[in-house]
Structure 1
Amino acid sequence: MAIEAGSQAPDFALRNQHGETVRLSDFRGEKNVVVLFYPFAFTGVCTGELCALRDELPTFVNDDVQLLAISNDSPFALRVFAEQEGLDYPLLSDFWPHGEASRAYGVFDEEKGCALRGTFIVDKAGTVRWTVVNGLPDARDLGEYAKALATL
């Protein structure tokens, strides 16, 4: 069961595509955070969603907002994916312990071994303000993220 709006967002410490550790708590008091879980790099729907975010990046990465995209891929795969698709925002690896952050947010599919498409907008105080969870084949609507961010 995915965590709900009004809950405290679970902290995590995950490596990005450059091997640097990124913590959700690094942004507390500084920025609202879009925590976006996606199943795997290099797959059709995931690539489409992440490239759409890239194309609208000023909405999701600015002085007030940080985007953190999380999958169960290794940091090495994420680096190649980011370079191939021109993704200039943090792609975080929930590879080991496998799915730990995805499980904390209630979006890990045990049968498939990957995260569902879950998005959590976390305010500067660390509280989840908006969520959406879609099944593996169903892309999310970025316009909904922008609307939710505008209310913070």
Structure 2
Amino acid sequence: MDGTAPRAGDPAPDLTLPDTHGTPTHLADLRGESVLVVFFPFAFSGTCTGELRELHENVEDFEAAGVRLLAVSTDPVFALKAWHEVEGFGFDLLSDFWPHGAAARAYGIFDESSGHALRGSFLIDADGIVRWSVVRPRGRRRDLEDYRAALAEL
């Protein structure tokens, strides 16, 4: 892991990353709404697919809480676009490919030895403050009930 991940009460590091169409998404532009930034290691991998499918199947929980989902990996835009077309996720996939892992580094969860982000999730309020976070080591998935508990506290 590279650095320290922001915790509840910390300002969220800003990020600007392209979506599956190459359009930049600026976290700072989303002030005024709550955002859940979900870092994942790789598109098309088993655990990542399972986690993001679960989020997609329960996206109404996030929408009801007024939370926008952003899923981020170090995959290139083209890989994320292909994966999005296969899976039909109902939220944005963002590429942290270049400069490689810059957003994951800013969030303290870039794994230098493997070149990808760890499984880190950061619930950011409308003022840009982290309200909840979780970081899981390689191979350990996040729990949907943890997300629901965090949403209830927002």
Partner of 2:106: 104
Query: C-alpha separation between the residues in 2 aligned to 1:71 and 1:60?
Result: 20
Partner of 2:28: 25
Q: Secondary structure at the match of 1:45?
A: helix
4+ runs deviating over 3 angstroms: none
Unaligned regions of 5+ residues in structure 2, if any? none
Unaligned regions of 5+ residues in structure 1, if any? none
Q: Against the structure 1 CA distance between its residues 21 and 87, is the aligned structure 2 distance closer, same or farther, given a 3 Å change threshold?
A: same
Partner of 2:19: 16
Partner of 1:60: 62
The code of the aligned residue for 1:15 comes to P
Normalising by structure 2, report the TM-score: 0.94
Query: C-alpha separation between the residues in 1 aligned to 2:21 and 2:90?
Result: 11
| 1:64 CA displacement | 1.4
| 1:61 CA displacement | 3.6
Query: C-alpha separation between the residues in 2 aligned to 1:58 and 1:35?
Result: 16
Q: Secondary structure at the match of 1:87?
A: coil
Over residues 54-95 of structure 1, what are the superposed CA-to-partner deviations in whole Å (9 max), with x where a residue is unaligned? 101112245711000000001110000011111121000000
Identity, in percent, stands at 52
**Aligned-residue CA RMSD in angstroms?**
1.1
State how many pairs are aligned. 151
Partner of 1:80: 82
Normalising by structure 1, report the TM-score: 0.96
